[in-house]
Structure 1
Amino acid sequence: MIPTTPAPVVVKDGIANPAPLGLCAFGMTTVLLNIHNAGFFELNAMILAMGIFYGGLAQVIAGIIEAKKNNTFGLTAFTSYGFFWLSLVALIVMPKLGWAPKASEGAMCAYLGIWGFFTFCLFFGTLKLNRALQFVFGSLTILFALLVWGDATGNESIKHLAGYEGIICGLSAIYTGIAGVLNEVYGREVLPIGAVK
């Protein structure tokens, strides 16, 4: 006999979670830039290449995939920070190519300040997500504030402090990204992220 009531069809989202890619791209690039900010080596091609290809393009790709997954927060965060890295590289490279004058310290304060404000606003979105992301966005807000303070005063000690704080911020993003990978692969919480109840 043919059943008269149709059986429910379960549609599984076949798109992989792009958040670990975006978090690792952000975190690894942030760590490398802030090792420079802390005074360990000069600004060089390694940092600029990471800014273009991993911190920049990989995050934009992650953000586009988040759009396919209907995740507005992920789309906004990853795409924005991907273009942050691309614009930061452009700020450094464009004057060297003679395309535009070098940004003044005041202009850099405005640039870093608006990104800090944006990050602070996104931090409130993390309050509904997990503790690990709260730490990433909270520490990133502090990083931008320190960078603005350092540029506004020209104080190298503050810039070095920002570098150490940025290393912590970047490592927390890497941790959160790797937790996403390992927790999915093992099907259980291998690395805790402090899920919000």
Structure 2
Amino acid sequence: MNSEIRIKDTSANPAPLGLVGFGLTTILLNIHNVGLYPNNSMILGMGIFVGGIAQIIAGILESKKNNTFGLTAFTAYGSFWLSLVAIWTLPALGLAEKADETAMGFYLAIWGLFTFGMFIGTFRLSRALQVVFGTLVALFWLLAIGDFTHIAAYKVIGGYVGILCGFSAFYTAIAQVLNEVYGRTVLPLGPVARS
């Protein structure tokens, strides 16, 4: 006798958690990038716990949903936030040399390249995610150009793009939650046709 046991996944959608973790942390860091306050413990705390740990948890949960895109995005960007905090704090602790602008330019550029690849994946997902990832590509590359050229204006412009990116991720998170809670489209996400 051959019997098959099937387990039904009834876990919640982890994407809003990952998107809100990314969105809120991105907004706050980029308010710093436009010059409204210095890099401080608030940004570090957000980077570790909200941008970092919350996104990694969401990414791991996406694997239960068989969502390779979500798993990759959330765990990678959660790790990005943790690595960024490490880049800022390790030199202050005397554990590493401070990264210069050239090193940071390459760091940001390579994250921009990764994000561009993920952006291509959003063409099959939703218009909302296209905005999140498209603005994130622009953010990374503007900040990288700012580091490579030593022209602060690129970082300020990048900061404004980053605020838009963060708010678009926040919108996407809240839209997913409200649409599920109300069982209808409360806030549109712009689904794309799959051929």
Partner of 2:15: 19
Q: Normalising by structure 2, what TM-score?
A: 0.95
Following TM superposition, where does structure 1 have runs of at least 4 consecutive aligned residues deviating by more than 2 angstroms?
Answer: 9-13
2:41 matched to 1:59? no
Aligned with 1:127 (options 98, 123, 129)? 123
Aligned mates of 1:53, 1:66 — CA distance in 2: 18
Give the whole-Å Cα distance in 2 for the aligned partners of 1:95 and 1:140: 27
SS at match of 1:127: helix
8 Å CA contact 2:9–2:64 kept in 1: the answer is: no
Q: 2:106 aligns with which of 87, 105, 110?
A: 110
Match of 1:40 in 2: 36
- Is residue 196 of structure 1 aligned with residue 195 of structure 2? no
**Secondary structure, aligned partner of 2:118:** helix
- Taking the aligned partners of 2:162 and 2:43, their CA distance within structure 1 comes to 14
| Aligned positions, number | 189
Amino acid at match of 1:158: Y
Query: What is the CA–CA distance in structure 1 between the aligned matches of 2:45 and 2:104, rounded to whole Å?
Result: 21
- Superposed CA RMSD: 1.2
Output the amino acid matched with 1:183.
Answer: N
Name the SS for the 2:146 alignment partner.
helix
Residue type matched to 1:38 in 2? V
Which of 158, 166, 169 pairs up with 1:170? Answer: 166
Matched with 1:71 is 67
Hey, what does 1:96 align to over in structure 2?
Answer: 92
1:184 aligned onto 2:180: yes
Secondary structure in structure 1 of the residue aligned to 2:124: coil
TM-score, scaled to structure 1: 0.94
* Aligned residues with identical type, % of pairs: 64
Q: Structure 2: where are the runs of 5+ without partners?
A: none
Structure 1 spans left out of the alignment, 5+ residues: 1-8
CA distance in 2, matches of 1:158, 1:119: 19
Letter in 2 for 1:67: S
